Homo-oligomer: A and B are copies of this chain.
Amino acid sequence: MTGTTAMREDLYPSRKGAGPRILEREDRVVYAAWTPGAPLSQEQTRTYGRDGVLVLENLFTADEIRLLQREAAQLHRTWESFKEETAILEPGGQALRSVFAIHAQNDIFARLAADARLVKIARFLLRSEIYIHQSRLNYKPGFDGKDFYWHSDFETWHVEDGMARMRALSMSILLTENFPFNGPTMFIPGSHRRFISCVGETPDDHYRSSLRRQEYGVPDRGSLARLAEDGILMPTGEAGTTVIFDCNTLHGSNSNISPFPRSNVFFVYNAAVNRLEAPFGPAMPRPEWVASRTGIEIIQPVEGHLVPDAA
């Protein structure tokens, strides 16, 4: 711990104790009060608050989705052009798994990140101006897509990046159809209302391996089993389906041996009032392209269609 953070309160301590603990969430989930003018229905707002995950269909038109798919396919062929560290490969292979900071490296995905249909929902739920904490384009190839173990994004963002409070959310826009059998992301509904304090210290430069495979900040099996007692939600749906989930909702995915790849683009919106401090774990924060810290831009929603000609 650095000198400047020694006296700071840590509401969500993790990777510090001898054993795992389940703590209560100290923050709201839905920050704004619902009104008829809200960008989500009252029912959708309730679902998000209760489950920590909400699935929206038909937010985009078919030609918008085709545009995003074409762009993702194009980038998959030319990924060597990205900033080296931002392209993450599958473990043990040369297959591209993710491109980080996609909104900062591609105009179409930058436009999508600022789209009013997404941004207005994020601003409503967080009741704040917002910026992009992290973005990425994920490819989960067919035949050998690896599994990704259960985790709370917030646990990592808190310990390794210094995000103090739970006032961030993720939006994942599916670029391929999610079937039950091609390794879609699974969520534990309601898990966002607890915080699993994990065991084990964080080694330096942990992010280099953890973006491929989780090793630290791993919830214990007892806590997972308890939180999953009421079941697991595995959203399936056509390309274009948008899944919104709280920063602390436990999620993970099984492997994908099916021939059907699974891709999505993923934006994390953080409340401007919740910007990063010094990490609560290791002294050195992770790099900008994993967790925006300096040069943050408040997002102004852009109205209209992603494909201007077709609007």
In the complex, the answer to whether B232 meets A179 with C-beta atoms within 8 Å is: yes
Contacts of A254 in B (CB 8 A): 147, 181, 183, 254-258
Contacts of A142 in B (CB 8 A): 221, 225
In the complex, the answer to whether A224 meets B181 with C-beta atoms within 8 Å is: no
In the complex, the answer to whether A257 meets B149 with C-beta atoms within 8 Å is: yes
Q: A259-B221, A259-B224 in contact; A180/B234 too (CB < 8 A)?
A: yes
CB nearest to A146 among chain B residues: B255
Q: A181-B186, A181-B234, A234-B180 in contact; A147/B257 too (CB < 8 A)?
A: yes
CB nearest to A224 among chain B residues: B259
User: A228 on the interface (CB 8 Å rule)?
Assistant: yes
In the complex, the answer to whether B147 meets A228 with C-beta atoms within 8 Å is: no
> Quick one: CB contact mask for A211-228 with B, threshold 8 Å, 1 for yes?
000000000010011001
Contacts of A260 in B (CB 8 A): 228
User: A195 on the interface (CB 8 Å rule)?
Assistant: no
> Quick one: CB contact mask for A40-54 with B, threshold 8 Å, 1 for yes?
000000000000000
The docked-state distance in angstroms from the alpha carbon of A257 to that of B181 is 14
User: A200 on the interface (CB 8 Å rule)?
Assistant: no
> Quick one: CB contact mask for A170-188 with B, threshold 8 Å, 1 for yes?
0000000001110100100
The docked-state distance in angstroms from the alpha carbon of A225 to that of B253 is 22
Shortest beta-carbon distance from A76 to chain B in Å: 17
State how many residues of chain A have any CB contact under 8 Å with chain B: 26
Contacts of A131 in B (CB 8 A): none
A228 interface neighbour in B180, B186, B258, Cβ under 8 Å: B258
The docked-state distance in angstroms from the alpha carbon of A3 to that of B214 is 53
The docked-state distance in angstroms from the alpha carbon of A234 to that of B183 is 13
In the complex, the answer to whether B232 meets A181 with C-beta atoms within 8 Å is: yes
In the complex, the answer to whether B181 meets A258 with C-beta atoms within 8 Å is: no
User: A301 on the interface (CB 8 Å rule)?
Assistant: no
CB nearest to A227 among chain B residues: B259
Contacts of A255 in B (CB 8 A): 147, 254-255
CB nearest to A148 among chain B residues: B257
Contacts of A179 in B (CB 8 A): 232
Question: What are 15 A-B contacts with C-beta separation under 8 Å?
Answer: A142-B221, A142-B225, A143-B221, A147-B257, A148-B257, A149-B257, A181-B186, A181-B232, A181-B254, A183-B254, A232-B258, A252-B257, A253-B257, A254-B254, A254-B257
Given contacts A142-B221, A179-B232, A181-B234, 15 further A-B contacts (CB under 8 A): A143-B221, A143-B224, A147-B257, A148-B257, A149-B257, A180-B234, A181-B186, A186-B257, A224-B259, A225-B259, A228-B259, A254-B254, A254-B255, A254-B256, A254-B257
Closest 4 CB pairs of A and B: A180-B180, A225-B259, A255-B255, A254-B254
